[in-house]
């Protein structure tokens, strides 16, 4: 219902965003791509425009990058209106963050899938994030939306990358999106390298070796442009991808590990006692200057060391809950 109602308001502005002949429009309800030359279709649950060709893609990216980002105050005000059912506010939140989807989708170029499709899936994740976003937990919409955007893109990659699905369980998914970035070269893994990767990811060595075989193999015939030319054998894109800067696991993990699981963050914060939540929010989820241990010690009438202990325990609990939430979201 959220997407259906929002479409009625946003559709009149979408042609300004992607007024490109031959633009592809996503049918959110039925999970199908619909193409119509010369106009954006508006009789679907929620139509977000995605260009269908290379030139259109560049124009789309240029357009969304020119949409101004929101200030924290504007974002909070719009989010509060969206929670109350204001679809115009939801539209503004979505349009102002389309550039975020483009940025994230570019990190997945190495899987050989159409970038427009990756952007489209990311847009669906952005819509889900806007629907669930609550500004008073301290995180910005950008941070909150990252996980939803990546989750949709991950699912799309796993559904479409190969004829035979390479990752159907949690350990396999973890390996699929981390194995290439953890390898030191394109050579076969040595026993020690396989053991190190298994230890880092918390999986079995046999699972590492099995995933490497799946990822370095290729589908016969269908993935080759020159099937009868021995000198020009074509491989699956993952076989020749070596640029680690495009690996999906590293782009945001270091800078936004705490924010990547923000759906879990909100659930976890609700499970903390009032004092622990207050400490975490003022130390980590603030808009300005973080509170010091001594300031919080004075507020609660305990020592700074006690505040540090409470903080450490609360963060540990948050991480555990967020990790479980993230795994559950990827399986939906």
Answer yes or no: is 317 within a domain. Answer: yes
In this structure, the answer to whether residues 111 and 190 fall within a common structural domain is: no
125, 160, 195 — which closes off a domain?
Answer: 160
Do the domain assignments include residue 242?
Answer: yes
Say if residue 132 is in the same domain as residue 9.
yes
pLDDT tens-digit profile, the chain (332 residues): 454 444 444 444 444 444 333 333 334 334 333 333 233 233 333 445 555 555 578 888 888 888 998 999 999 999 999 999 888 999 999 999 999 999 999 888 767 678 888 998 999 999 999 999 998 888 899 999 999 999 888 888 877 765 445 555 666 666 666 665 666 544 566 778 778 887 887 777 777 777 776 666 544 443 444 444 444 444 444 454 444 555 555 554 544 444 444 556 777 788 889 999 899 888 887 666 788 889 899 999 999 999 999 999 988 888 777 777 666 555 55
| Same domain, residue pair 214 and 303 | no
Q: Domain check: are 12 and 108 in the same one?
A: yes
- Does 144 share its domain with 34? yes
**285 phi and psi, to 5 degrees?**
-110, 50
DSSP 41-103: --SSS---EE-SSHHHHHHHHHHHHTSPPPPHHHHHHHHHHHHTT-HHHHHHHHHHTHHHHHH
């Amino acid at each position: 219902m959220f997407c259906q109602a929002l479409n009625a308001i946003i559709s009149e502005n979408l042609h300004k965003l992607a007024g490109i002949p031959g633009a592809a429009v996503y049918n959110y309800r039925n999970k199908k791509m619909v193409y119509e030359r010369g106009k954006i279709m508006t009789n679907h649950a929620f139509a977000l425009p995605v260009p269908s060709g290379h030139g259109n893609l560049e124009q789309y990216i240029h357009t969304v990058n020119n949409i101004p980002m929101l200030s924290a105050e504007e974002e909070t005000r719009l989010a509060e209106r969206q929670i109350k059912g204001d679809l115009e506010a939801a539209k503004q939140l979505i349009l102002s963050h389309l550039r975020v989807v483009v940025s994230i989708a570019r990190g997945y170029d190495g899987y050989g899938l159409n970038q427009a499709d990756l952007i489209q899936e990311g847009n669906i994740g952005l819509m889900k994030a806007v629907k669930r976003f609550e500004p008073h937990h301290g995180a910005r919409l950008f941070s909150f939306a990252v996980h939803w955007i990546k989750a949709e893109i991950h699912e799309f990659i796993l559904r479409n990358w190969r004829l035979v699905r390479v990752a159907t369980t949690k350990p396999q998914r973890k390996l699929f999106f981390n194995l290439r970035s953890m390898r030191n070269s394109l050579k076969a893994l040595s026993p020690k390298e396989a053991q190190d990767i298994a230890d880092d990811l918390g999986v079995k060595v046999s699972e590492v070796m099995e995933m490497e075989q799946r990822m370095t193999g290729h589908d016969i015939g269908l993935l080759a442009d020159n099937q009868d030319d021995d000198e020009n054998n074509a491989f699956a894109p993952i076989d020749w991808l070596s640029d680690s800067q495009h690996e999906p696991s590293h782009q945001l993990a270091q800078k936004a590990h705490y924010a990547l699981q923000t759906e879990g963050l909100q659930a976890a914060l609700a499970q903390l006692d009032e004092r622990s939540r207050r400490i975490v929010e003022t130390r980590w989820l603030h808009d300005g200057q973080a509170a010091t241990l001594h300031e919080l010690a004075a507020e609660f009438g305990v020592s700074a060391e006690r505040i540090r202990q409470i903080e450490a325990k609360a963060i540990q609990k948050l991480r555990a809950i967020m990790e479980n939430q993230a795994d559950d979201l990827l399986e939906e």
